[in-house]
Amino acid sequence: MKIHTRRFGDIEVPNELAISIPDGILGLPDAKRYVLLEHDSEGTPFKWLQAIDNPDLAFIVMDPHLLVDPYDARFDGETSAKLGVSVAGKEFAMMAIVNIPRENPIAMTINLRAPIIVHLEKRVGWQVILPNEDYPIRHRLFPDRPEEEPPKKD
Amino acid sequence: MLILTRKTGEMIRIGDDVAVSVIEIRGNQVRLGITAPLSVSVHRQEVYDQIQEQNLEAARARPSDKVLIQSLWQKRDAGTGKK
């Protein structure tokens, strides 16, 4: 299928790679179909989760296991009930949304608390809020480095 | 919004499958017990709001300096001794 994207132009993607996110990402419930792209990501662990039906909408995502190992993403009953399968690690891929402030990339953060969990075979996924309160919603990927004045956030 | 007044020990039923119970009231804190089927998510509002805000911010972000980001990762991997 051909996908229009603002960042990467028009691209051709095999239909079977589409991921359905029936509830959408929190705050963006209308976008229910996505595809994972690796454009522009050499030398980084990032991928792009591009909305199929909205050329402007894409998230930078990353496997949280690369930062936190073990990553305690024990699914609560809600997720396994929604997926209709019993949970086993290998069937699922996990991606956490990364936020890279343009004016200060060093201050980039990743949402460890609410990853997107995708059943690889069924090609269906959800953004799940994990019960583990130790996982921050904004986890700094580069805590060691001095940074310029961080943007004010509330 | 439906507003109800309840005392400690009383309950509210939402739909057929969700129940909210007032367990304890202490000062300005209310301890609530929630019974819901596994398919219904229950979270504190602030967590929900923060995640939504973070999602929207991430969706709006336009990272432009690819070279800088790549070099940050190279330094990081070098520092941790990864591949």
pLDDT in tens, A2-47: 999 988 899 999 999 999 999 899 999 999 999 999 887 788 899 9
B69: chain A residues, CB-CB within 8 Å? 44, 46, 100, 105, 108
Name the residue facing A43 among B57, B58, B74 (closest C-beta): B74
A59: chain B residues, CB-CB within 8 Å? 55, 58-59
Residue B44 domain-assigned (yes or no): yes
Residue B77 domain-assigned (yes or no): no
CATH node for A2-140:
2.30.290.10
Residue B78 domain-assigned (yes or no): no
- Closest chain B residue to A48 measured between Cα atoms? B59
Neighbouring residues of A140: CB distance < 8 A, sequence distance ≥ 6: A107, A108, A109
Helix or strand run (H / E) with residue B72: helix B66-80
- pTM over cut 0.80: yes
What ipTM goes with this model?
0.82
B51: chain A residues, CB-CB within 8 Å? 26-27, 111, 113-114, 127, 129, 137
Q: Structural domain tally of chain B?
A: 1
Q: B19: domain range?
A: 1-61
Residue B66 domain-assigned (yes or no): no
Name the residue facing B39 among A25, A58, A78 (closest C-beta): A78
